[in-house]
Amino acid sequence: SQQGEEDPQALSIQEGENATMNCSYKTSINNLQWYRQNSGRGLVHLILIRSNEREKHSGRLRVTLDTSKKSSSLLITASRAADTASYFCATLGVYSGGGADGLTFGKGTHLIIQP
């Protein structure tokens, strides 16, 4: 079962604009990670934020985490055509075992950057 829900499901913006994607989850987490997946390619890890962190930056990426609302957001600034991809949030639960040792992914946001 999928824990995370990304919002929106699809997003189309002009090159140079900022893109914001949101993720909500249901259970207590150890950390939350964002991945990118291009058509026909594997998942690429973007950024990891731990449950005791509130904000993290990496290049043009900014991630926030609100554990009280069980939500996270990913901001991509100054978007480029190469950012066109599906973006997934994935959570790692606090407890191990019973299927919880791996990441739990959402359904993803499909981002299209118009040149």
Partner 1 sequence: GAGVSQSPRYKVAKRGQDVALRCDPISGHVSLFWYQQALGQGPEFLTYFQNEAQLDKSGLPSDRFFAERPEGSVSTLKIQRTQQEDSAVYLCASSAYRDRSYEQYFGPGTRLTVT
Q: How many Å apart are CA 74 and CA 27, to the nearest integer?
A: 19
Among 2, 22, 64, 73, binds partner 1 (CB under 8 A): 2
Binding to partner 1 by CB under 8 A, coded x per residue (else -) over 8-37, reads ----------------------xx-x-x--
> Tokens for 55?
């904000």
**Does the footprint of partner 1 cover residue 50 (CB under 8 A)?**
yes
> Torsion over CA of 16, 48, 23 and 54, rounded to 10 degrees?
-90
Tokens representing 2?
A: 């999928």
Cα-only R_g, the chain:
14
Candidates 11-19, 57-65, 66-74, 105-113: pick the segment binding partner 1 (CB under 8 A).
Answer: 105-113
Which stretches of the chain bind partner 1, using CB under 8 A?
Answer: 1-2, 4, 30-31, 33, 35, 41-45, 48, 50, 88, 90, 92, 96-108
